[in-house]
Each structure stands twice: as structure tokens, then as C-alpha cells.
Amino acid sequence: MATNEAPEKDAPGSGTTVLIVDDEDDILDLLQYNLEREGFATATARDGREALEITEKIEPDLIILDIMMPRMDGIEVCRRLRQDAHLRNIPILMLTAKSGDKDQIKGLDVGADIYVNKDVSMPVLMSQTHALLRGTRRSETPPDLLRIHGLEIDRDRYLVFQEKDGERAEMRFPRKEFELLHFLASHPGTVFTRQELLDHVWGRNVYVVDRTVDVHIRKIREKIGSELIETVKGVGYKFKE
């Protein structure tokens, strides 16, 4: 039976903690059962406000987030988490019955890492959960400091600084936007297809659509300007040499 009592983050044996947010008890029970069978510790929330309260308390390693919920929907929860300096880098997997392109774009726009329909099979969902967490761990390896075209990309603090008009501006990016920017900037002049970017940033075992890359590129350009990341028509993207 699902419970809304959150395990302590550093409790013995708790391991990696996944917060499941959904207002349907059967979904909570199903996900909790399968995640715990995979060795994860779990916490649950039945609406958006409760999800934010629990996230602040335990800082889960990953959040599986429904969209259509009472009190506060998943879009607003995601937006608030990405605006929080301490919580912005928690991976978010949106699991929802809404499958239209506009819904997916909206979810990715506010910072979701993956957008998955509720009709996905449980083995596939578990595989995506593991892959998303592996990608998170890879990003936490000792980082370097990259300086290019007026940008300073600091992987240690997940910060980007930009020199513009004699001033140094600090910018914070959601995790996947940051990783995508860092990867492209690390290979200036190299053209990458959307699939290559998905493989390098999201991982080969995570299923996300090509549109995910386009949405994240657009969000990055809004912050650093459109001239640094070039579109190569019919192929993909490259960072300015």
C-alpha cells in the first residue's frame, strides 16, 4: 500500500529515493511496488503542494510527476522546482495521460527531463528511471571549467557566466539544458545530430523524442543568445567555432 510518509534521505538502507507524485492510489501503489522491487526507496505525494513540501524535506534523487492533479498541477510543480536553487537539478520524469505534442512541449519547456505516457510498459519505465539516474550520476563526476566565446561554464557549480557589454552575468540552467550546452561547447564546430545529442546527454537507454533536443536548444538560446548554437539544416546542431 502506498504511503505519503517520506523516508529520511540518509536513513540506513534507503539508497536512492524516488518521489512518486500522482492523485490516483492505484498508480501510486503500482509504481511504489515496482520501484521498491528495483531497490529504490520511495516517497509519495497525492498533489502538487504536498510534492513540494516532501521534496524540500528529503531532496529525492528523482521525481516521477503526474500533470493533472488537485491543488497544484505537475507543470507548476516542475516550474517551481526549476526556479529553486537547491532543488533545480533533481531529475523529473513526467508520467501523464496527456499525449499531445503541445502537452509534451509544455512539460519540457518548464524543465522536465523526460515526458512519458501512462500507457508505457512497466519494464520500459523502470529502464528509463535507471537510465535517467545513471545520466545524473555521470554529470556529478569531477567537472572542469570551460571558457568559450564570452561564456564561462562551471560544471562544479552548474553555473554559466556570460560577459556582455562589459558586465559578467550569472545564469542558472536546469540540469539537461546545462549538460547539453556543456557538451556542445566542449566540441566547437562539430555537428551533432539530434539522436547523437540524445545519446550523449540523456543516455542511449532513455526514450525521448527528437523534439526534446529542439526545445532545450531553444531555451538555451533564449538565455545566451541565438548566435552561439548554430542549426545545420537537415542534420542537427553545432556550437560556434
Residues 107 and 184 in one domain: no
6 in a domain, yes or no? no
pLDDT of residue 143: 46
pLDDT of residue 234: 87
Residue 232: pLDDT band (50, 70, 90) is: very high
Which of 76-80, 88-92, 114-118 shows the highest mean pLDDT?
Answer: 76-80
pLDDT of residue 205: 65
Which of 35-44, 82-91, 136-145 shows the highest mean pLDDT?
Answer: 35-44
pLDDT of residue 7: 41
Residues 54 and 116 in one domain: yes
The stretch 150-175 carries a mean pLDDT of 87
Instruction: Give dist(CA 125, CA 42) in Å, integer.
Output: 15
Q: What are phi and psi of 153, to 5 degrees?
A: -110, 110
Instruction: Give dist(CA 130, CA 16) in Å, integer.
Output: 10
Residue 206: pLDDT band (50, 70, 90) is: low
7 in a domain, yes or no? no
pLDDT of residue 104: 77
Beta bridge partners of 115: 94
Show the cell assigned to 61.
534523487
pLDDT of residue 86: 79
Residues 127 and 151 in one domain: no
Straight-line distance from the first to the last Cα atom of the chain, in angstroms, rounded to the nearest whole number: 55
The stretch 128-156 carries a mean pLDDT of 75
pLDDT of residue 136: 65
CATH number of the structural domain spanning residue 210: 1.10.10.10
CA 233 to chain centre: 27
Q: Is the pLDDT of residue 201 over 80?
A: yes
CA 6 to chain centre: 21
70 in a domain, yes or no? yes
Q: What is the per-residue pLDDT across 174-187, written as a single tens digit (0 to 9) for each?
A: 889 999 999 999 88
CATH number of the structural domain spanning residue 85: 3.40.50.2300
85 in a domain, yes or no? yes
Residues 93 and 163 in one domain: no
Q: Is the pLDDT of residue 93 over 90?
A: yes
pLDDT of residue 2: 38
> Which one of 139, 159, 193 terminates a domain?
139
- Mean pLDDT score of the chain, rounded to an integer? 85
Residues 87 and 35 in one domain: yes
3-class SS of residue 123: helix
pLDDT of residue 137: 59
* Percent helix, percent strand, percent coil in the chain, to nearest 5: 40, 20, 40
Residue 81: pLDDT band (50, 70, 90) is: very high
Residues 178 and 124 in one domain: no
Q: What is the arrangement of strands in the sheet containing 92-96, beginning at the earlier edge strand?
A: 41-45, 17-21, 62-65, 92-96, 114-117
pLDDT of residue 18: 96
Q: Is the pLDDT of residue 11 over 90?
A: no
pLDDT of residue 99: 67
Residues 110 and 176 in one domain: no
Count CB-CB contacts under 10 A for residue 167: 7
Residues 203 and 129 in one domain: no
5 in a domain, yes or no? no
Q: Is 220 left (phi over 0), alpha (psi -120 to 50) or beta?
A: alpha
Q: Is the pLDDT of residue 68 over 80?
A: yes
Residues 82 and 185 in one domain: no
228 in a domain, yes or no? yes
Task: Provide the number of structural domains found in the chain.
Answer: 2
3-class SS of residue 114: strand
> Which one of 89, 110, 139 terminates a domain?
139
51 in a domain, yes or no? yes
> Which one of 118, 139, 160 terminates a domain?
139
Residues 135 and 157 in one domain: no
Range of the domain at 220: 145-239
Residues 50 and 83 in one domain: yes
Long-range contacts of 178-184 (CB under 8 A, 24+ apart): 178/153, 179/135, 179/139, 180/213, 180/216, 180/217, 180/220, 181/153, 181/220, 181/224, 181/229, 182/146, 182/153, 182/155, 184/229, 184/237, 184/238, 184/239
Residues 30 and 127 in one domain: yes
8 in a domain, yes or no? no
Quickly list H helices, 38-156: 48-58, 74-82, 101-109, 122-139
